[in-house]
Structure 1
Amino acid sequence: MTAPPTGLRERKKAKTRAAIREHAMRLFEEQGYAATTVDQIADAAEVSPSTFFRYFPSKEDVVLVDDVDAVLLGAIRAQPAAVPPVEAILRGIRGVFDGMSPETWEFERRRQRLVLGVPELRARMLHQMTDAIDMVAGVIAERAGLPADDFSARVIAGAAVGAMVAVLPPEGAEKTDGVTPADYHRLEKALVLLQEGLPLG
């Protein structure tokens, strides 16, 4: 999703981060999120616990940190200034999701399956939506040449993020397989509905 690091130090850091995350995901899937400790993850990745915390502030962050966010914000920011905000978000999402490799889709499926299936992760993810509104509002305002805290930009961002949350499976639903291309199309449909003024039916 992002350009690979070029320097030796950056490549080593990226490799270590990826190893920590992959071992953590494997352990979460094999023995459960709650039963997995930071020490176990660090041991599996052959790093110290202190090294783990240099890359991820907490066990939750291994799952909740979304590497697609920065790419998506960049794609929205890159839309022509004349494109209305919701359309810019829609185009940005289309570009990012269309460019995702099968490996990225698979990782996101696993990550989202954990987020949706573990109550404490789901709760923190929903709590983080205010941060998502801040980020999207900032980009919308920037594109329009408005202050970062512009009220209209925040309302538009809140509506768009709300539409994204609305397509998530409800808590307790059987579907916890994580994000799939079909979910992307539901997200697209939600944003189009927002674009059209939220008609019912």
Structure 2
Amino acid sequence: MPKATTPQPERGPGPGLRERKKIKTRQAIRRAALRLFAEQGYEATPVDRIARAADVSSSTVFRYFPAKEDIVLTDEYDALMAEAIRERPRDEPPAASLRHAVAELLGPSAGAERDELLARLALVRQVPALRARMSGCLADSGALLGEALAERSGRAPDDFEVRVAVGAVLGALREAVFHCLDHGLACGLDESLGDGPKGTAGTKEPKTPGTPGRPSGAPRATRRGADDLATAIDRALDLLSRGVPL
């Protein structure tokens, strides 16, 4: 997904105090938003309510996320994947490097970040506007991925073969994610929450005596979901490395 819109990190061995504060603010906004989306639905949650829940102003929310959709769709995974690719051996096939990078980002050590990613993907599955916007966000992802792959091959990012390779990889990643989104449980959605039809995220079940209401359109990500998503992506990249059998 595209990188979140935030000021650039300070130079040096690690983030400085100001950058750490920015990271915490961005995380607080996203977590507050995801909590509200689960409680009352994506469409029913305005930005000013997200701002209040995160204890920031609406202008601060828009400084980090220019549109509400960006809270769900933007993250740092593209930059992390590009960095992981650059750290792989130079003589390793690009598809193999990508598979290692994905395994690193979605592996057990990812913890809460991985679970948050799955929760965001669950929202994309349910909200048509997010799914449509996700398809249009791949250009930013392609730019970072193209730079990383071009460096490995000693070519320019706009080299024809690099662009074709990036397009193939992005298509494979997109279809792997969409495959999981389209199959619900395969993406790790906890269907015991009583998901409604697609596009009904956030509708609530009627309360009954002694039973608190719960959001019917806010599926939770499960640990199995991360494994299934990683497996689907690995299969897609393996197809590219072996050649798609048509």
Higher helix share: 1
Deviations 1:172-198 (A, max 9, x none): 945162652111011101111111111
Number of the residue aligned with 2:239 = 193
Q: 5+ unaligned residues in a row in structure 2: which ranges?
A: 1-12, 190-220
Residues 76 and 149 of structure 1: is their aligned pair in 2 closer, same or farther, counting only changes over 3 Å? same
Confirm whether residue 125 of structure 1 aligns to residue 134 of structure 2. Answer: yes
**SS of residue in 1 equivalent to 2:156:** coil
Letter in 2 for 1:54: R
Confirm whether residue 155 of structure 1 aligns to residue 201 of structure 2. Answer: no
Deviations 1:100-128 (A, max 9, x none): 43212211111111122110001010111
Q: Which runs of 4+ in 1 moved over 4 A?
A: none
**SS of residue in 2 equivalent to 1:148:** coil
Q: What pairs up with 1:1-201 in 2 under 5 angstroms?
A: 6-98=15-107, 100-169=109-178, 173=182, 175=184, 177=189, 180-200=226-246
Residues 172 and 79 of structure 1: is their aligned pair in 2 closer, same or farther, counting only changes over 3 Å? closer
TM-score, structure 1 length as denominator?
0.88
State the distance in 2 between where 1:172 and 1:110 align.
11
Relative contact order (alpha carbons < 8 A, sep ≥ 6): 1 or 2 greater? 2
Q: Percent identity?
A: 43
Q: 5+ unaligned residues in a row in structure 1: which ranges?
A: none
Post-superposition offset of 1:12: 2.3
State the distance in 1 between where 2:136 and 2:169 align.
16
Post-superposition offset of 1:50: 1.0
The higher radius of gyration belongs to 2
Number of the residue aligned with 2:205 = none
Letter in 2 for 1:153: V
TM-score, structure 2 length as denominator?
0.73
Q: Is the 8 A contact 2:85 2:97 kept in 1?
A: yes
Post-superposition offset of 1:90: 1.6
Residues 171 and 106 of structure 1: is their aligned pair in 2 closer, same or farther, counting only changes over 3 Å? closer
Post-superposition offset of 1:18: 1.4
**SS of residue in 1 equivalent to 2:39:** helix
User: How many residues align structurally?
Assistant: 197
Residues 171 and 34 of structure 1: is their aligned pair in 2 closer, same or farther, counting only changes over 3 Å? farther
Residues 105 and 44 of structure 1: is their aligned pair in 2 closer, same or farther, counting only changes over 3 Å? same
Post-superposition offset of 1:7: 3.2
